[in-house]
Amino acid sequence: MKKFFLINSLIFFIMISNDLNAQKSDDYVVTISTKLGDISLVLFDETPKHKENFLKLAKDKFYDGTTFHRVIKNFMIQGGDPNSKEGGKTNEIGMGGPSYLIDAEINPKFTHVKGAVAAARTGGPGNPQKKSSGSQFYIVQNATGTPHLNKEYSIFGQVIEGLDILDKIADVQKGAMDRPVEDIRMTVKVEKMSKVDIAKKYNVDWENIQKK
């Protein structure tokens, strides 16, 4: 009985230690700056391919100068197309990206709540594996979420500050194909920070990251 108690205590101690180490580990805060304000977000460890790809593109300044080219109020805002940069293929906005796709990382743990960051993708029978665009992403703006998209797209991050900026962007005047009449350009910055510091600064509960 005493041996059983000691083994259980050891297992509990290891679990607590692992959790504390995870909380102390370094992570990143991504800040998308626009003329309407800043949107800060974190990326999920559970979607490593999407996280690594987004961080690489952001650090390489791939997103700088691109626009939120598709904006639908009470739904989402979409960006990340290199064709939307000044001097880009403006007649092909919405179709651009790097020369690769990302394997789907659809995790039922994450849902399309307001502020969820997900990868755009081609729909229909031409993409049965639901592979993601190499760069285009969208952020849910609807206050009650968009649950009909759950389990269909790879959600890989969550806004932790600037939800009101989503609403400001969603309110701009749009023209054909839900494109803002005046460009909403972005610059993207990556800041390395411990998970503990992120939790303190942004009031983040890592175990319930999508629940406010």
* Residue 195 one-letter amino acid: K
Instruction: Specify the pLDDT at position 13.
Output: 42
Residues 87, 85: Cα–Cα separation, whole Å? 6
So what CATH class is 2-204? mainly beta
Residue 86 confidence (pLDDT): 83
Q: Which pLDDT belongs to residue 179?
A: 95
Q: Are 66 and 187 in contact (CB under 8 A)?
A: no
Give me the pLDDT at residue 24, please.
57
Q: In what order do the strands lie in the sheet with 187-194?
A: 68-72, 76-79, 137-140, 116-119, 155-161, 37-43, 26-34, 187-194
For residue 18, the model assigns a pLDDT of 47
Angle between helices 2-24 and 195-202 (to 10 degrees): 70
| pLDDT by residue, tens only, the chain of 212 residues | 555 444 554 444 444 444 444 445 999 999 999 999 999 999 999 999 999 999 999 999 999 999 999 999 999 999 999 999 987 667 789 999 999 999 999 999 999 999 999 999 999 999 999 999 999 999 999 999 999 999 999 999 999 999 999 999 999 999 999 999 999 999 999 999 999 999 999 999 999 999 86
DSSP string across 127-191: -TT-PEESS-EEEE--TT--GGGTTTS-EEEEEEE-HHHHHHHHTS-B-GGG-BSS--B-EEEEE
* C-alpha–C-alpha distance, residues 63 and 188, integer Å: 6
pLDDT at 91 (0 to 100): 77
Residue-range domain boundaries for the chain: 2-204
- The answer to whether the CB of 83 falls within 8 A of the CB of 90 is yes
